[in-house]
Structure 1
Amino acid sequence: MPAPAAFFLQETIEVEDLGGGIKRQILGFDESLMVVKVWFEEGSIGYLHRHPHTQVSYVESGEFEVQVGGHKKILKAGDSFYIAPNMEHGAVCKKSGVLIDTFSPYREEFLDKEIG
């Protein structure tokens, strides 16, 4: 991977439509860390899944029913949640909103082309 860019300007970064009312924008990354902004329409679902990355997500806006390791909680703007590597997790958007996801190490599969 080439050296990461120092600055990522929102208007120059592609927003990827993932379908099902979910869009994603990679805000910055290097080999050890990635920050991603994810928009959810009301009713959209981040289906239960797992990955080997550590994840911390911040609820920027909206309301989400988040499930981590079999435990569910309603989270609103200002709340956050932690996901250990390989822990099953998912979310249902109750009110349209945005999550800011951080991953360590970076999600290589999110990069289908270079950014920055």
Structure 2
Amino acid sequence: MEKQSEHFLFADKTEIEDLGNGLKRQMLGYNHELMAVKIWFDKGAQGYTHKHRHSQVTYVLEGEFHFTIGEETTVLKAGDSCLIPPHVDHGAICHTGGILIDTFSPAREDFLKP
């Protein structure tokens, strides 16, 4: 990936992508080594169980999420965070509605439009 985001991104001018099923995503910045995104979850929305080659750190900005990483499930609330190693199954359900900040290394190429 050769692309990178602008140095400054403004919340009111950066696209919010509707992912369907109660999820929306906004890019916060990226280059080939790192990516940060903001994800909105409607009440009851689910981040399906999946895995990828990227290291991921997720910060809970708002709401309550039931997170599963590997075989372990726990509840994370605003101010909590988690580390998801590469190639480990993970997913989340938001029973309250909420917002996550996800960071990835390297960047998720699949999140970028061609």
Q: Within 5 A, what are the aligned runs for 1:21-32?
A: 21-32=22-33
**Residue number in structure 1 paired with 2:18:** 17
Between 1:69-78 and 1:5-14, the stretch displaced more is 5-14
Q: Within 5 A, what are the aligned runs for 1:78-97?
A: 78-97=79-98
What percentage of aligned pairs have identical amino acids? Answer: 50
- 1:62 and 2:60 are equivalent in the alignment: no
Q: For residue 13 of structure 1, report the CA deviation from its aligned partner.
A: 1.0
Unaligned ranges ≥5, structure 1:
none
Report the CA distance shift for 1:3/1:96 in structure 2 as closer, same or farther (over 3 A).
closer
Cα deviation, 1:41-97, whole Å, max 9, x if unaligned, reads 111110100000000000000000000011000110000000000100000001110
Distance across 2 between alignment mates of 1:85 and 1:76 = 23
Distance across 2 between alignment mates of 1:3 and 1:58 = 22
Distance across 1 between alignment mates of 2:59 and 2:70 = 18
The letter of the residue matching 1:75 is L
Q: For residue 3 of structure 1, report the CA deviation from its aligned partner.
A: 5.1
**Which SS does the other structure have where 1:11 is aligned?**
coil
The letter of the residue matching 1:54 is S
Q: For residue 20 of structure 1, report the CA deviation from its aligned partner.
A: 0.6
Unaligned ranges ≥5, structure 2:
none
Distance across 2 between alignment mates of 1:27 and 1:58 = 13
Q: For residue 2 of structure 1, report the CA deviation from its aligned partner.
A: 3.9
Distance across 1 between alignment mates of 2:21 and 2:39 = 12
| Superposed CA RMSD | 1.0
The count of corresponding residues between Structure 1 and Structure 2 is 113
